[in-house]
Amino acid sequence: MVKAYVMINTRPGKETEIIKEISKMPEVSEVHRVFGPFDIVVEIKSSSMEAIVDLIFEKIRKIDGIEKTITAITAEYEIDVHDMPI
């Protein structure tokens, strides 16, 4: 399993439309409208790096209103902080 986070900058006023379009993609596990240097953050889970690359270049980046994306691919290890004792 490969996981990535895509940070997206949009044209003003296009956020809701873009979130609706991205939410339809089966590889997308979470979509958030955020404050800060980005407008939207998307979590993607897929079976391979090639599938992640295809999703970003062939689908996400082609959505009207997206101006820029930055992608962070997760490292090998993941810690679920909800399973950690307090």
Q: Does the residue 32 lie in any domain?
A: yes
Q: Could you tell me the CATH number of the domain that includes residue 44?
A: 3.30.70.920
Instruction: Give residue-wise pLDDT tens across range 14-36.
Output: 999 999 999 999 999 999 999 99
pLDDT of 86 > 80? The answer is no
Name the residue with higher pLDDT: 76 or 43: 43
Q: Does the residue 52 lie in any domain?
A: yes
**What is the span of the domain harbouring residue 23?**
2-75
Q: Report the alpha-carbon distance of residue 68 to residue 81 in Å, rounded.
A: 30
Q: Does the residue 71 lie in any domain?
A: yes
Amino acid sitting at position 59: K
> How is residue 20 written in tokens?
């609706």
Q: Does the residue 83 lie in any domain?
A: no
pLDDT of 1 > 80? The answer is yes
Q: Does the residue 86 lie in any domain?
A: no
Domains identified in the chain, total number: 1
Q: Does the residue 84 lie in any domain?
A: no
